[in-house]
Amino acid sequence: MLRDVVTNDNTASDVWADTAYRSRSNEAWLKSIGRVSRVHRKKPKVKPMPARTARANAARSTVRARIEHVFARQKDQMALFIRTIGIARAETKITLANLAYNIDRLIFHERRAAKE
């Protein structure tokens, strides 16, 4: 699944993901294509998570949370639900949702700046 998501048209070198994508084969594949893995680490079975790993996951979460909040807002408040026939229609729907979200954020920031 990770190989379907990470494509060559994305020029970023870092790959951010949750623990579901961590495996030896995925890590080796990312390294072979020159990508830096920022995938969360799993908690060892039957052991507590080492403090170092927990801190590293927390640092990764702060970056990922900024993006996840955008998706949550689009899904919940903007009622984004993709159920279309064809990838072109799905991409159009996502593009329009992104545009509406960005306009909403622009209005928020403009109002905030006007109050200051």
Do 85 and 38 lie in one domain? The reply is no
**pLDDT classification of 114: cutoffs 50, 70, 90:** very high
**pLDDT classification of 72: cutoffs 50, 70, 90:** confident
Q: Name residue 23's amino acid.
A: S
Instruction: Answer yes or no: are the C-beta atoms of 36 and 15 closer than 8 Å.
Output: yes
Residue with the larger pLDDT of the pair 52 and 81:
52
Q: Residue 61's domain spans which residues? A: 1-67
Nearest Cα neighbor of 75 from 90, 97, 99, 91 is 97
Percent of the chain with pLDDT over 90: 36
Residue 90 counted as domain residue: yes
**pLDDT classification of 74: cutoffs 50, 70, 90:** confident
Do 19 and 61 lie in one domain? The reply is yes
pLDDT at 12: 80
Do 37 and 82 lie in one domain? The reply is no
Residue 48 reports pLDDT greater than 90? yes
pLDDT at 71: 83
pLDDT at 31: 92
Cα distance between residue 101 and residue 54, in whole Å: 32
